[in-house]
Structure 1
Amino acid sequence: MCKTEPQKNKTLPVYSWEEIQRHATKDDRWIVINGYVYDVSTWSKKHPGGEKLLANCAGQDATDAWIAFHNDKRAVSKYLGALRVGLLRPEENKESELIKDFRDLRRTVEDMGLFKASVPFFGFIMIHIFLLEFLGWFTVYQFGTGWLTLFIASLFLVSAQAQAGWAQHDYGHLSVFNNSTVNHWIHIFLLNFFKGVSSSWWNYRHYLHHAKPNRIRKDPDIRLAPLFLLGDKIPVEWGKKKKGGLPYNCQHQYWFLVMPPLLLPLYFNFEVPYFLYSRKLYGEMFWMFAFFVRYVCMFYPFLGVSGALALYVWVRFLESHWFVWTTQMNHIPMDVDYDQDYDWVTAQLKATCNVDQSLFNDWFSGHLNFQIEHHLFPTMPRNNLHRATPLVKSLCQKHELDYQSKTLYRAMADIVGCLKVSGDMWYEAYNM
């Protein structure tokens, strides 16, 4: 495992955790990696993963997050050298037994070659996505525009869009090719051109989620208030303050009418354009526009412009259901809390659960049913996640960590169940 290169200057100042934790403000941010202290106050604005990612780790040990997110650690270490300001006090630089064992586990999976992608596997993924899209177009071309034909075509089209969503996730995590540039370009192609969304927007949100999953104010994926209150902290806080204008004790019922049907249409058609415009990412706006041109050109001969756009809206509506249930079943039912500065392993296990492996579950979820392994090793190609599972389970058993794996039905049902529990907590606090 690559360590950061030591500075020539051997007289670096030594800091305690108490001193380091004072540097966790908007204009003053220190982090610790492999026992070295780094001042990332200025660099955070240039960080490829976004400024907020480093802000969320300020005053904390970011070693395992740094290892998890960076494939080419030697190259990244060159940037770190100029930011180094000191050393963590030796007596405070002690790894827990859990972290020692986890780092040994990481070396083991690296030696097993589990960070090497399968070319045939990812080649098949891409081919089957394009085939599904073609079958959607061909169904309309061959059989006309009757309602049944369009419904069947939309099933092919939504499957193509959903599978492209899982595939872009692989390239966004740089887990397919050794060359990061190639991963980035395919990521842009799949998200911007094939799906009509933004790779920069996805990177911004998704890496924040991975670094601090289910942590209030740090994970954008759990910012569902004021529509939904998650976990056992926010509902009680809002209830005591008589805050919120919705009957949250009924949120498990109106969930079906809000999140699954509306999330992607709102993201893709409102949040993403605003994100790109506010950051002046006009190149990505062009590729998003190219997606709509492509979609209209595919179906204009049969449906006209308005019909092609209506088909797009219908497909996105269906995909939103698929996306929401699949992505939320691994996280919403888990621990939702403020950042307690847990170690990397504990933080990921508290916030994630798996769904049992099967050929359908793997395909339906894009292997996100192995959410625990994916969160522990975010750059591991998804075709290898199942091979890491026995080792991760053994680690959890040794350290008495809760490793949860559920049926697909149970995982989805738990979303509704936990919403009800949280809503009842709000109601009780509200009426105290």
Structure 2
Amino acid sequence: MGKGGKLFEGEKPSFSWEEIKTHDVKEKPWLVIEGEVYDITNWIKKHPGGNRVIGFYAGQDATDAFQAFHNDLNYVKKYLKPLNIGKLDESQTKGDKFELEQDFRKLRETAEKMDLFRPSYTFFILSLGHILLLEVLAYLNMLYFGTGWGPYLLSVLLYTIVQAQSGWLQHDFGHISVFKGKKWDHIIHHFLMGFTKGASSSWWKHMHYQHHAKPNVINKDPDVRVESIFVLGDVMPVEVAKTRKKSLPYNWQHRYFFLIVPPLLFPVYFQYMIFRYTITRRQWKDLVCLFAFFAKLFFLYGPLLGFWGALRYYFLVRCLESHWFTWVSQSNHIPMTIEKDQSKPWLQLQIHATCNVQKSFFNDWFTGHLNFQIEHHLFPTMPRHNLYKIAPLVKSLCEKHGVTYCVKPLGRAFVDIVRSLKSSGELWLATYEAHHLL
């Protein structure tokens, strides 16, 4: 029973936030969903989305995260019943934070009434169709016109587009935002990630769901666990400078970023991590898809380019795709707030960690509609072609509660990556000199 709670026969015990927050450790984690308190100690390892995703909300209110990640709430809620141990003390549901949470939940209800979670199958068929068409053209181009520089470079360009656009499309199926029933979303996600991209569906979900649960949160979001090479934001540079006497010259990170991340993220780091994950986690289905991708690659391009020529072709495409992905994905996050977990309401958490890029036909296509990163993070299962429709309402809600809603031109968003790295590097240097050189 909660501190000060009074329990009558048949009545659930009530708990204060002070008590709930003490259960933020792995040994006996609790969380709150819709005012009900759940002990997830025995469920955390069984959670289909991974123990880290649900564990990130131990000792916190997980209502909006729960709604964001699950399409069929009634189906999922039946798994919650055995975990329920009480309810949140009603005296705790007051204040600006509570009002913000309630307004956001009303916004979600509005989005549902506007039918914004309904996908356009025409949109996704055309998206997949243009990818498959370009993949065929990339091969036929060299088959019929030879492997001279002209046809070769055109083929590389077409196949790079195939890989980048497949990345955006798999993202939709990975978030269960197309069919709403997991079966077909999972099947097509495996196809796109494995056979079309030569990557691991399971690895992507393992990493990406953590990112969405706590974006830009130090020690939780895997996308900002980069302190061995970079320091990001205003908190990480200071901590690293104080605790590490020997480290990289982070004040140069805005320069060596160009040499390390855009050209090497996909062809080196992701390549290594994908195979490592599938083998160590025994993801045999993913491994079969990986081998099928490379069998297709060498079967088609081996006779045209030879084994080593096909391998060079593959890594050149990966390098170009890596540039495309890096600049798009990092423009939405690196320049934003990067800090330790503050248990922020869902709206504040997501918006402080994300920004948008201005809408245009090219920007929508080039970024896979992730130019609406704010709306995507708030509603990750919403089909991307509907994100622009909810954007004005999100902006209005932000204005009401004094939350900054950031939209940038595409070029400025790219430049801000470098500016942010430079600023964080200078902060690291100033702190390092103050603690170790004086």
* TM-score, with length taken from structure 2: 0.95
Letter in 1 for 2:214: K
Residue of structure 2 in register with 1:80 after alignment? 80
Separation of aligned partners in 1, 2:317 and 2:137: 14
Residue of structure 2 in register with 1:201 after alignment? 203
Letter in 1 for 2:48: P
1:214 positional shift: 0.2
Separation of aligned partners in 1, 2:24 and 2:104: 27
Separation of aligned partners in 1, 2:386 and 2:136: 29
Residue of structure 1 in register with 2:221 after alignment? 219
3-state secondary structure, aligned to 1:107: helix
Q: How does 1:31-430 map to 2 (within 5 A)?
A: 31-94=31-94, 96-430=98-432
Separation of aligned partners in 1, 2:265 and 2:332: 17
Retained in 2: the 8 A contact 1:238–1:244?
no
Residue of structure 1 in register with 2:5 after alignment? none
Letter in 1 for 2:57: C
3-state secondary structure, aligned to 1:177: coil
- Write out per-residue CA displacement over residues 61-96 of structure 1, whole angstroms, 9 at most, x where no aligned residue: 000000111000000001011111111111113462
Separation of aligned partners in 1, 2:399 and 2:19: 35
Separation of aligned partners in 2, 1:47 and 1:350: 27
- Write out per-residue CA displacement over residues 160-199 of structure 1, whole angstroms, 9 at most, x where no aligned residue: 0000000000000100113211001100100011111111
Retained in 2: the 8 A contact 1:141–1:302?
yes
Separation of aligned partners in 2, 1:262 and 1:96: 44
1:276 positional shift: 1.4
- Write out per-residue CA displacement over residues 10-68 of structure 1, whole angstroms, 9 at most, x where no aligned residue: 42222111111111112211110011111111211111110011111100000000011
Separation of aligned partners in 2, 1:66 and 1:195: 30
Residue of structure 2 in register with 1:5 after alignment? none
3-state secondary structure, aligned to 2:86: strand
Letter in 2 for 1:68: A
Letter in 1 for 2:69: F
Moved more, 86-95 or 109-118: 86-95
3-state secondary structure, aligned to 2:321: helix
1:135 positional shift: 1.3
Retained in 1: the 8 A contact 2:218–2:338?
yes
Percent of aligned positions that are identical: 52
Moved more, 418-427 or 23-32: 23-32
3-state secondary structure, aligned to 2:47: coil
* TM-score, with length taken from structure 1: 0.96
Gap change, CA 1:333 and 1:378, over 3 Å in 2:
same
Retained in 1: the 8 A contact 2:227–2:236?
no
Retained in 2: the 8 A contact 1:196–1:268?
no
Separation of aligned partners in 2, 1:214 and 1:138: 43
3-state secondary structure, aligned to 1:215: coil
Separation of aligned partners in 2, 1:273 and 1:338: 30
Letter in 2 for 1:71: N
1:392 positional shift: 0.8
Separation of aligned partners in 2, 1:31 and 1:97: 20
- The total of aligned residue pairs comes to 424
- Write out per-residue CA displacement over residues 229-277 of structure 1, whole angstroms, 9 at most, x where no aligned residue: 0011111122223445211101000100001011112343211111111
- Write out per-residue CA displacement over residues 340-394 of structure 1, whole angstroms, 9 at most, x where no aligned residue: 0000001011000000000000000000000000011110000000101111111
Letter in 2 for 1:122: F
Moved more, 331-340 or 262-271: 262-271
Retained in 2: the 8 A contact 1:166–1:365?
yes
1:211 positional shift: 0.9
Separation of aligned partners in 1, 2:220 and 2:244: 24
3-state secondary structure, aligned to 2:425: helix
Gap change, CA 1:127 and 1:164, over 3 Å in 2:
same
